[in-house]
Structure 1
Amino acid sequence: MADGMARALWERYEPVHDLVYFAPRAHRAAEALGLHGFWMGYFALRAAPLGPVSPAVVTSCFYVFHPSRVARALPDAWGCAAPERVLAAREDAMDAAMTELFGPEVTGSAEFTEAADLAWRAAAAAETAGRVLAAANQALERPERPTARLWQALTTLREHRGDGHMAVLVGQGLGPAEAMLLKAAAGESDEQFLRETRKWEQSEWTAAKTRLRERGLLAEDGSLTGAGRAVRAEVEALTDAAAESPWTALGPDRTTRLAHLLDPLARAVEESGLLPPGNPVGMPSRSTPVGG
């Protein structure tokens, strides 16, 4: 679709997906499994669809994390709880988190079930060749509860977009640190927050900055050059294009309907205070309207 719908849907499903990282219910579910600390819970909850994979696999799939950050959580997490238990716990946690945040009158409504079914249909139609995280999530069974069904479908769509984004970054010759530096220079995330949470050493970060300056993408003051802005724009445009298949399959009318149904849910998450400052997921402010 050349009408921006892939980006419009991303702006609306990303906040809902992010509950798995920041909702207290998710943290408590991880702790109950013996997954102590934010990062062990994060990596286990997100990687569980892949099975008991090694740190190297998760480092590759998640792209922006330093290998040492992943290795502190995996494979130890699988010794606390097998992926099957983690998947069941995250489904229960997302059901509880969404019911608490949106209210049972919302999650029990016909419109919420409609959103879950539309999202599931889109996620099932997503092309997953070369998209490991999307394929692993798409292969999970359809949850009976509309809350879990909606969250899982949005997660498949989110990982589908993310897998495509990483392919674009590789094609542009932008490694993990370079990709984050460009995002920070574009004003979409806090640079220090990204470096510290992804556990990159200052020397590695500085070396990445040097490479970007040598390519003419960063100025000496760390801002984007004209060439840097052009590369950022191309990365985003190619990522949007690579994310189109679910929405082409769903069709413009149903895609627009889903965007409208997701809009108040996304706003509820954004206004809840659950998402931390520094924009760790790199979500830009909502800018793409939907018609209808």
Structure 2
Amino acid sequence: MADATARALWERYEPVHDLLYFAPEVRRAADSLGMRGYWMGYFALRAAPLGAAHPSVVTSCFYVFHPARVTRALPDAWTYATPADVLAAREDAVDAAMTALFGPDTVGSAEFGQAADLAWEAAAAADTTGRVLAAGNQALERPGRPAARLWQGLTTLREHRGDSHVAVLVAHGLGPVEAMILKAAAGESDGVLLRETRKWEQADWDAAGTRLCERGLLAADGSLTPAGAALRAEVEALTDAAAEGPWTALGADRAARLAELLDPLARAVETSGLLPTGNPVGLPRSAHPAAH
């Protein structure tokens, strides 16, 4: 199993990555491309590194979304803008969002540039074998602007961890809905928010809950059983272990330095009011030192 490095870095880079989903600059960029509504923009912006991938491919990679949620957005999004156009707009938008939130002095500082370079180096060292979203992001050119470079490096690392997490879920026989129910039962996210935003019917949710109960992972009241809690802990530990490679390559001292540099940035995002209640990404904010 890995040490705590992968989880500690995730707790810091996840909020920064999440600007893609919640910053107003990004929503305006999606609208300017002609995207019809939030979800078309979401899927186009996140999936663009894969090219004009078929909706079934995106559904597979993103894992937790009902296929109908994806097919309402793709491939129609590519009739409004090409993946290359979306990637260019994405880079401009996250650069603008980070500059607005953190301030031009912070984004232009030597420390911020150091964080961008460390994140890019770690992302370049990530093994993307079997990790499709990470591979697509890792293949993108290095942005010249520090804010865009930092965000893109962190996003490659985030998708690397996410791809690893999906592999662990599949290995443990946890489908998309089962995975979300366990996440909600563990208190990491709001179950209603997950079900509604990922577009699953209540019947799908109930059927998955029944399967979890039959496996002895979920109690009748919807709480985790001891076996369910143990499985959740194992899934998280294996995910962290699979995400450790970039930090091993970077080295303990430089990984710790990146965590230190990301700490105030993560805190700025978490206290900005941009992140929605219900914690859809399941980030353990209480575990983040900067949140105390």
TM range (shorter): over 0.9
Q: CA RMSD in A?
A: 1.0
**2:216 equivalent in structure 1:** 216
**1:241 equivalent in structure 2:** 241
Sequence identity (%): 77
**2:139 equivalent in structure 1:** 139
In 1, the alpha carbon distance for the partners of 2:229 and 2:152 equals: 34
**1:283 equivalent in structure 2:** 283
AA of the residue aligned to 1:265: L
Structure 1 ranges of 4+ moved more than 2 A: none
**1:257 equivalent in structure 2:** 257
| Structure 1 gap segments, 5+ residues each | none
| Structure 2 gap segments, 5+ residues each | none
Displacement after TM superposition at 1:123 (Å): 0.1
1:50-82 Cα offsets, whole Å, 9 max, x none, are 000111000000000000000000000000000
Q: How does 1:150-165 map to 2 (within 5 A)?
A: 150-165=150-165
Displacement after TM superposition at 1:36 (Å): 1.8
In 2, the alpha carbon distance for the partners of 1:118 and 1:142 equals: 13
Q: Does 1:106 align with 2:92?
A: no
AA of the residue aligned to 2:148: A
Q: Conserved in 1, the CA contact under 8 Å of 2:188 and 2:279?
A: yes
Q: TM-score, normalised by structure 1?
A: 0.98
In 2, the alpha carbon distance for the partners of 1:2 and 1:191 equals: 29
> Larger deviation: 2-11 or 179-188?
2-11
Q: How does 1:133-212 map to 2 (within 5 A)?
A: 133-212=133-212
Change (3 A) 1:64 1:242: same
Q: Conserved in 2, the CA contact under 8 Å of 1:20 and 1:94?
A: yes
Q: Conserved in 2, the CA contact under 8 Å of 1:107 and 1:113?
A: yes
**1:38 equivalent in structure 2:** 38
Displacement after TM superposition at 1:18 (Å): 0.2
Q: Conserved in 1, the CA contact under 8 Å of 2:183 and 2:189?
A: yes
In 2, the alpha carbon distance for the partners of 1:128 and 1:237 equals: 19
1:186-214 Cα offsets, whole Å, 9 max, x none, are 00000111000000011111100000000
Q: How does 1:68-87 map to 2 (within 5 A)?
A: 68-87=68-87
In 1, the alpha carbon distance for the partners of 2:184 and 2:91 equals: 32
Displacement after TM superposition at 1:2 (Å): 3.9
Displacement after TM superposition at 1:280 (Å): 1.1
Q: Does 1:8 align with 2:13?
A: no
Q: Counterpart of 1:181 in 2: which secondary structure?
A: helix
Displacement after TM superposition at 1:225 (Å): 0.2
Displacement after TM superposition at 1:281 (Å): 1.1
Q: Conserved in 2, the CA contact under 8 Å of 1:119 and 1:154?
A: yes
In 1, the alpha carbon distance for the partners of 2:241 and 2:288 equals: 15
Displacement after TM superposition at 1:282 (Å): 1.2
**2:122 equivalent in structure 1:** 122
Change (3 A) 1:258 1:286: farther
1:233-266 Cα offsets, whole Å, 9 max, x none, are 0000000000000000000000000000000000
In 1, the alpha carbon distance for the partners of 2:127 and 2:25 equals: 31
In 1, the alpha carbon distance for the partners of 2:19 and 2:231 equals: 31
Q: TM-score, normalised by structure 2?
A: 0.98
In 2, the alpha carbon distance for the partners of 1:45 and 1:204 equals: 27
AA of the residue aligned to 2:15: P
In 1, the alpha carbon distance for the partners of 2:288 and 2:51 equals: 36
Displacement after TM superposition at 1:3 (Å): 3.0
AA of the residue aligned to 2:258: L
1:97-140 Cα offsets, whole Å, 9 max, x none, are 00000000000000000000000000000000000000000000
Q: Conserved in 2, the CA contact under 8 Å of 1:8 and 1:289?
A: no
Q: Does 1:54 align with 2:57?
A: no
In 2, the alpha carbon distance for the partners of 1:289 and 1:163 equals: 26
In 2, the alpha carbon distance for the partners of 1:289 and 1:139 equals: 32
Q: Conserved in 2, the CA contact under 8 Å of 1:11 and 1:286?
A: no
